[in-house]
Amino acid sequence: MTGNEDERIVDRRAASRMNDDAEPGADATPSPDELLAAEREKAESYYRNWQRSAADFANYKKRTEQEKSKSAEFVNAALVINLLPVYDDLERAVATVDAHLAGLNWVQGIIAIQRKFLQMLEALGVSEIAAGGEEFNPNLHEAVGKQPGDDGKVLHVVQKGYQIGDRVVRPAMVIVGEAGAS
């Protein structure tokens, strides 16, 4: 025998002794079923994380849309607050036109402008707050005076109030009836 064969035998014996000392199954590779189960568990974890992220993103989109909508409402409200005094002036001008001037072209032009102005306000979602003869509501009306009359009823509107949807832009300034007021 050559020296190489002896080495090979020694190597085989050493290798067999090392395998005898090791615990059975400690060095074994995982079975395909175990690998598959581990990969399925990872996949389920990734899927759950993806679902959570997708739900978070959907909530984020909803929240930003709501914020945009509210922002637009506030901008509209600010615009309307600044336009209402102009509309009030137009309304007063039309209401105080003498009968002999009513047929003149420039008066008809002012009336047409007032109508267009009202249509523009309605397009912005602005509506007038009902006040005359209504029960006084501090959320919609601002009492500027009292007069004898039906207790808690709006007797006279001093200045019209407006709202956009449910949000009051300007409360109606009213005179409220009070039993026994003098």
- Alpha carbon separation from 172 to 20, 144, 162 (Å, rounded): 98, 10, 7
Same-domain check for residues 144 and 177: yes
24 lies in some domain: no
Q: Decide if 167 contacts 179 (C-beta within 8 A).
A: no
- Please report, for the domain that includes residue 153, its CATH number: 2.30.22.10
32 lies in some domain: no
Which of 86, 104, 124 is the endpoint of a domain? 124
162 lies in some domain: yes
Which of 105, 124, 143 is the endpoint of a domain? 124
CA 9 – CA 23 distance, rounded (Å): 23
CA 131 – CA 139 distance, rounded (Å): 12
Range of the domain at 176: 127-182
Same-domain check for residues 116 and 148: no
Residue corresponding to tokens 């509209």: 76
CA 161 – CA 140 distance, rounded (Å): 8
Task: Flag whether the pTM goes above 0.75.
Answer: no
Residue-by-residue pLDDT tens, the chain, 182 positions: 555 555 555 555 555 555 555 555 555 788 999 999 999 999 999 999 999 999 999 999 999 999 998 888 888 888 899 999 999 999 999 999 888 888 889 999 999 999 999 999 999 889 999 888 889 999 999 999 999 988 889 999 999 999 998 889 999 999 999 876 55
Which of 78, 102, 124 is the endpoint of a domain? 124
Same-domain check for residues 101 and 132: no
Sheet containing strand 154-159, edge to edge, reads 141-148, 172-178, 154-159
- Alpha carbon separation from 46 to 40, 52, 123, 167 (Å, rounded): 10, 10, 49, 45
- Count of structural domains, the chain: 2
Same-domain check for residues 104 and 64: yes
